[in-house]
Chains A and B, each alone.
Chain A
Amino acid sequence: MIHVDGLTKYYHDLCAVDQISFAIQKGEILGLLGPNGAGKTTILRILAGFLQPTAGTIRVKDYSIDAHFLEIKKLLGYLPESAPLYHDMLVYDYLDYVANIREIDKRQKLPRIRRLADLCGINSVMHQPIGELSKGYKQRVGLAHAMMNDPEILVLDEPTSGLDPNQIVEIREIIKKIGQEKTVILSTHILSEAEATCDRIVIINRGKIVADDRTANLKQTLSDKSRIDLTLQNADFASLQQKLGTINGVDRLTPIEETDHHLRVSISCQGGVDPRAAIYRQIKSTDWILLEFHQETQTLENIFRELTKES
């Protein structure tokens, strides 16, 4: 459906996107993930025809952004970050205006606007100026704007930023509903969001792809790695290291805090072995007092942090 090929974008001397290539299948919900300034927005803007790449190209179906940007814009629905809309227009007038630009047939216009208003839950604000709406409603109007032409591809730039938890869940539900039949690309720096909505995640850092896999696979590779936090009383790190270091599955011990009263250690584990039973038995054999013992399963959060850490 969409092929991104060697995409590069320089802002003067600053390289925002560096030789990025990936492909998106029809019906996929793809999450572009990365810290601020990673180049997510730039990629989406190029795809939406707002910016021109310095090098490389994007092909949507049989169209390329260099030659057929108008045709691509007709296939796309795009919601920019924080949904910039005309503040002095009424919601209905705005949607009507978008429908006119999208050349939607006169007779289908009203039913279409009604359907979108239902889908995005903006029926109650149709006759209010956009500038008076709360951020969540603005975002919904933006979503309705993006879906006006029933696009095959929906591009959303940080669709849930600045919303409250309830609104986030609602917007997510809407995106999932759309994603059942459409191709959706969304960017976010919130991992739980990508985890919850996307089929596939592309992690970008400093304009380069650092990971590209299905969400389930990414989680799978993570579940092999886990961490155990341990707090003990009357123990010292050297003897703990001696006792636990040999257990199968324990990779490394790192002291977090060592005081006269207690010792906190983080144990990183590896390979599908669960060392918890062995660790407990070892501790039981001493006169240490076990204050805390819990396993932290790795989330996307951790891999994201690891991949995008400042080197």
Chain B
Amino acid sequence: MRQVLPIFRKEFRAYFVTPIAYIVISIFLLVTGWFFFTTFFLFNQANLRNFFGLLPIIFSFVIPAITMRLIAEELNVGTYETLLTLPVTFLDVVLGKFLACWGFIAAMLIPTAAYAFTVAMLGQIDWGPVAGGYIGALLLGAAFSAVGLLASALTRNQIIAFIIGVAICFSLTLIDKMLFFLPRYLLGIFAYLGADFHFENIAKGVIDSRDVLYFVSVSFIGLYGAHLALQAKK
């Protein structure tokens, strides 16, 4: 387990050594900033609800782009062999890379604090939902990172890893918007599967253990899947 830290540090730094980090963060801020502030003055409400409302959709594109290279690139270049013959376990590799991606998402969210402060200057902001929104964003980020990591472990092609990741994250986000297609008795189950549904709850400022449990479960399933995918390559 002590090998998690060097792997985390290496992967986290790799984002910022290469242009990936700057490109992804710029695009993320551009998209969220634009969509948030174009409608902000129409609503005339001093809250970040619309910003957080955008996050599940934006994350389901941005996070697979962050995770796609994590394992697929190593498999493709062959560095996976170099890595795995060092004294590390699959768990070290999966956790190290997952934490690096999660840390990156946290770094990506930091500049958006400027939105909160801007809004606070314009009106009376309720900090509870803002804090809840950020906690929710981190939980959502963890779940999607784990899914993206799983997608990256399934293939040696980064583009395919990206597409698989987007497909899963996007379905998780949209599943509760599709509910009207479903018979009534299935509604509860599918609503529970939706990432958007749980995220909205937390973003309201209500931190319910059921919602937290949902994100922790998705993260766990994703990471365990990635672990199994790596093991199968032996």
Contacts and interface: CB of A to CB of B under 8 A. Distances in A.
A89 interface: yes
Interface residues of B, number: 23
Contact of B85 (A49, A85, A100): A49
Given A52-B234, A103-B2, A86 B86 contact: no
Contacts of B177: none
A106 B77 CA distance: 30
Interface in A59-114: 70, 73-74, 76, 78, 80, 82-89, 93, 97-98, 100-103
Contact of A98 (B13, B77, B86): B86
Contacts of A74: 87
Nearest to A99: B6
Contact of A101 (B78, B79, B86): B86
Interface in B13-70: 13-14, 17-18
Given A70-B89, A76-B85, A87 B6 contact: no
Given A89-B14, A101-B6, A49 B82 contact: no
Nearest to A155: B85
A83 B79 CA distance: 8
Interface string B121-140: 00000000000000000000
A102 B87 contact: yes
A84 B79 contact: yes
Given A84-B78, A88-B18, A100 B6 contact: yes
Nearest to A72: B87
Interface string B1-18: 011011101100110011
The secondary-structure label for the interface of chain A is loop
B213 interface: no
Nearest to B10: A97
B70 to A, nearest CB: 12
B86 to A, nearest CB: 5
Nearest to A70: B87
A256 interface: no
B84 interface: yes
A89 B74 CA distance: 13
A102 to B, nearest CB: 7
Q: Chain B CB within 10 Å — which of A70, A80, A103 has the most?
A: A80
Contacts of B14: 86, 88-89
A84 B86 contact: no
B21 to A, nearest CB: 12
A84 B85 CA distance: 12
B7 to A, nearest CB: 7
A83 B85 CA distance: 12
A73 B77 contact: no
Contact of A87 (B77, B81, B234): B77
Contacts of B87: 70, 73-74, 101-102
Contact of A102 (B5, B13, B86): B86
A51 interface: yes
Nearest to B234: A52
B88 interface: yes
A163 B103 CA distance: 40
Contact of B6 (A85, A88, A97): A97
Given A85-B79, A89-B14, A50 B85 contact: yes
A45 B17 CA distance: 31
16 contacts: A48-B85, A50-B81, A50-B85, A50-B234, A70-B89, A74-B87, A76-B85, A78-B85, A80-B82, A83-B82, A85-B79, A87-B77, A88-B17, A97-B10, A103-B2, A142-B82
Given A50-B234, A87-B77, 15 more contacts: A52-B234, A74-B87, A78-B82, A80-B78, A84-B77, A84-B78, A85-B79, A88-B18, A89-B14, A100-B6, A101-B6, A101-B86, A101-B88, A102-B86, A103-B3
Interface of B: 2-3, 5-7, 9-10, 13-14, 17-18, 77-79, 81-82, 84-89, 234
